[in-house]
Structure 1
Amino acid sequence: MEKLMEILEEIRPEADFESCKTLIDDGVLDSFDVMSIISELGDEFDIEIKPADVVPANFNSAEAMWEMVKRLQNK
């Protein structure tokens, strides 16, 4: 989770990833941010995030992203 937080803070330093649960819904992250996150997570955690995984529920919070990473690592 620590590495995920580093990646997120690098991409959008002003966002509150600790407590925000509506990163997509409230427009904190835009589509470019999400694409950057997908690329970074793929490289860092050696996972493939497929189009079916690119839904707001997986990117609305740091916790949701971390759950997705763990799920994809176990495939």
Structure 2
Amino acid sequence: MEKLLEILNDIQPDADYETCTTLIDDEVLDSFAILSIVGELEEAFDIEITPVDIVPENFNSAQALWDMVQRLQEA
């Protein structure tokens, strides 16, 4: 989770990833940030994030992102 937060803060430093659960709904993350996050997560965690995974439920919070990373690592 620490590596994930580091990636998120590098891409969008002004967001509160510890408590925010509406990163997509409140447009904290834009499409460019999402694409950057996808690329960084794929490289850092050796996973493949497909278009099916790129849904608000997976990107609305750091915890949701972490859950997706763990699920994809297990697949």
Q: TM-score range by the shorter chain?
A: over 0.9
> Structure 1 length as normaliser, TM-score?
0.99
**What's the secondary structure of 1:18's corresponding residue?**
coil
Matches within 5 A, 1:4-23: 4-23=4-23
Segments of 5+ residues of structure 1 without an aligned counterpart are: none
CA-atom RMSD in angstroms? 0.3
Partner of 2:29: 29
TM-score in terms of structure 2 length:
0.99
Structure 2: which 5+ residue stretches go unaligned?
none
1:68 alignment partner in structure 2: 68
SS for the counterpart of 1:58 is helix
Q: Report the CA distance between 1:53 and its aligned residue.
A: 0.3
For these two proteins, the number of residue pairs brought into alignment is 75
